[in-house]
Amino acid sequence: MADDKGLSNHKEFLAPGAAHEAAGQGHAATDLHGRSLVEFDRAAERRLRWKIDLYTVPTVSLLYLFCFIDRANIGNAKLAGFEKDLHMENYDYNAVLSIFYIAYIVFEIPATMTCKWMGPGWFLPATTLAFGICSVGTAFVNDKQSASGVRFVLGIFEAGVMPGIAYYMSRWYRRSELTFRMALFMVMAPLAGAFGGLLASAILSLDHFGTLKSWRMIFAIEGIITIGLGLIGFLTLTDRPETARWLNQEEKDLAIARIKSERVSTTELLDKIDLAKTLRGIMCPVTLTTGFIFLLNNITVQGLAFFAPTIVGTIYPEASVVSKQLHTVPPYVVGAFFALLFPLLSWVFDRRMPWFVLSPPLVMIGYIMFLTSHDAMVRYGATFLCASGAFAFGSLTNGNASNNVVSDTARSSAIGTNVMLGNIGGLISTWSFLPFDGPDFVIGNGLNLATSTATTILGAMLWMWMRWDNRRREGIDVDQALAGMTQRQIQDLDWKHPGFRWRT
């Protein structure tokens, strides 16, 4: 077995009951070239992976579903009189949307690091409970100032949800498995668009909810559901493999060892937060480029969430409010299918970068249709293409950021950076469809055509650079490069370790 520095070239078969040494603190599960020193019983891994899927994915998926619903239901409320009742004019609605994203962006990395410090098993339910309360509070606002205040606080508490869940899942899954598991919860974003429209339609069919009527019922009822899910999360979320009551000791050791076997020179799976590795995650070139790609893509994703009901309203101006809500559902369902398909293929082929290049053209075609046609059915069909190409990027970019750093600390800061940059795109999206630009929204549609084109180009360039740098690293003498360094210094290198390879 490997010594503390992982210098051994010996490779042994690791049965479920023999994982303890690889899982133990002070032992590395790779050599200095990043090659795994152990092989795993594939049948035991499959059983373990299925068990992890059952105990982690359903809870985080529901939390993220209502995180996105509580963020985007303001679009459904807008159709039901939100603007009119709060006496909003001109760009007031866009300003209220922007307030959320200012808080969301500022608190993104701090929230993700807090998640690591507290542990996801406590942080995720607590922040869900908090933003559920904020959603209920929105039902009682009476002017744009109070609406802006509640949306700002909502942004603070929702900031850590997506990166927190992505980081949480990186504690459980191999790099090849991770993107698809992220997709299983991030698919809730397009499903929130579909389910949120259906739920809003059902709620609006009620005469009242207590003393609340119309759009106020949407925020109150959906917020109460969120609070309930947050309370359940305290009981169902397990922080990490070591504390999982539903795993026996052999399964815990196997869960830890298989993750360590992919992290070059790592001797502890959950390290303490330190500045060096935090900055490694933030300043990684793959993190920054991937985050900028997510920024461009999020202009489309969040724009669809906030303005899909408005866009449908311009396509079918004579339809009832409920009918307009229902017309927003089918594009999201199709988008959800592709949000799972591309990450599934990335797991099957263990490649993520090809989908950075292949999915944006669907978005490009959709916005070209918006810009060149006034036919209602053509434009409605375009929303399907836009959703199909855009929604997979949440899991693809977070998976790419997570897979291309080494330590747990760097992973938490890399994911936080990716989501922070992505939500700058969300902030931009709040100003992409402006009242004076309707009903054709040439500026908004043109912007999204430009961003999807840029996404395709940047994705191709990043892919080529990662392949080129991997070939460069092959020529480095690893033993000479690391000569004289302590184990701590070697581990602090993270992605700069000469034995590390980018995962494309």
pLDDT at 75: 80
pLDDT at 485: 85
β-bridge partners, 36 = 30
pLDDT at 483: 85
Tell me, yes or no, whether 126 lies in a domain.
Answer: yes
pLDDT at 317: 79
pLDDT at 429: 86
Tell me, yes or no, whether 492 lies in a domain.
Answer: no
Tell me, yes or no, whether 30 lies in a domain.
Answer: yes
Tell me, yes or no, whether 39 lies in a domain.
Answer: yes
% residues pLDDT > 70 (the chain): 90
pLDDT of residue 282 exceeding 90, the answer is yes
Tell me, yes or no, whether 499 lies in a domain.
Answer: no
Q: State the SS3 of 66-130.
A: HHHHHHHHHHHHHHCCHHHHCCCCCCHHHHHHHHHHHHHHHCHHHHHHHHHHHCHHHHHHHHHHH
Each residue of 338-395: pLDDT tens digit?
Answer: 999 999 999 999 899 999 999 999 999 999 998 898 888 888 888 899 999 999 998 9
Distances (CA, A) of 503 to 2, 258, 346, 488: 24, 17, 11, 24
pLDDT of residue 67 exceeding 80, the answer is yes
Q: How many domains does the chain have?
A: 1
pLDDT at 35: 67
As a whole number, the mean pLDDT across the chain is 86
pLDDT of residue 47 exceeding 70, the answer is yes
pLDDT at 9: 39
Read off the pLDDT band of 2 (50, 70, 90).
very low
Read off the pLDDT band of 15 (50, 70, 90).
very low
Q: Which of 14-23, 199-208, 264-273 has the highest mean pLDDT?
A: 199-208
CA dist 365 and 361 (Å) reads: 6
Read off the pLDDT band of 29 (50, 70, 90).
low
% residues pLDDT > 90 (the chain): 49
Lowest mean pLDDT of 21-25, 106-110, 255-259, 493-497, name the range.
21-25
pLDDT of residue 128 exceeding 50, the answer is yes
pLDDT greater at residue 36 or residue 64 = 64
Domain that includes residue 451, residue range: 12-477
pLDDT of residue 4 exceeding 80, the answer is no
List b or e across 440-470, with b for residues whose CB sees 16 or more CB atoms inside 10 angstroms. ebeebbebbbebbbbbbebbeebbeebeeee
β-bridge partners, 38 = 12
Each residue of 211-261: pLDDT tens digit?
Answer: 888 889 999 999 999 999 999 999 999 888 988 999 999 999 888 888 888
CA dist 313 and 327 (Å) reads: 9
pLDDT at 63: 93
Tell me, yes or no, whether 282 lies in a domain.
Answer: yes
List b or e across 166-186, with b for residues whose CB sees 16 or more CB atoms inside 10 angstroms. bbbbbbbbbbbbbbbbbbbbb
Q: Which of 29-43, 64-78, 153-167, 313-327 has the highest mean pLDDT?
A: 153-167
CATH number for 313: 1.20.1250.20
pLDDT at 77: 87
Tell me, yes or no, whether 490 lies in a domain.
Answer: no
pLDDT at 313: 76
Using left for φ > 0, alpha for ψ between -120 and 50, and beta otherwise, residue 434 falls in beta
SS3 154: helix
Read off the pLDDT band of 187 (50, 70, 90).
confident
pLDDT at 31: 60
Residue for token pair 């152990």? 38
Read off the pLDDT band of 134 (50, 70, 90).
very high
pLDDT at 436: 83
Tell me, yes or no, whether 485 lies in a domain.
Answer: no
Read off the pLDDT band of 453 (50, 70, 90).
very high
Lowest mean pLDDT of 138-147, 230-239, 423-432, name the range.
423-432
CA dist 254 and 45 (Å) reads: 8
pLDDT at 37: 65
CA dist 22 and 16 (Å) reads: 11
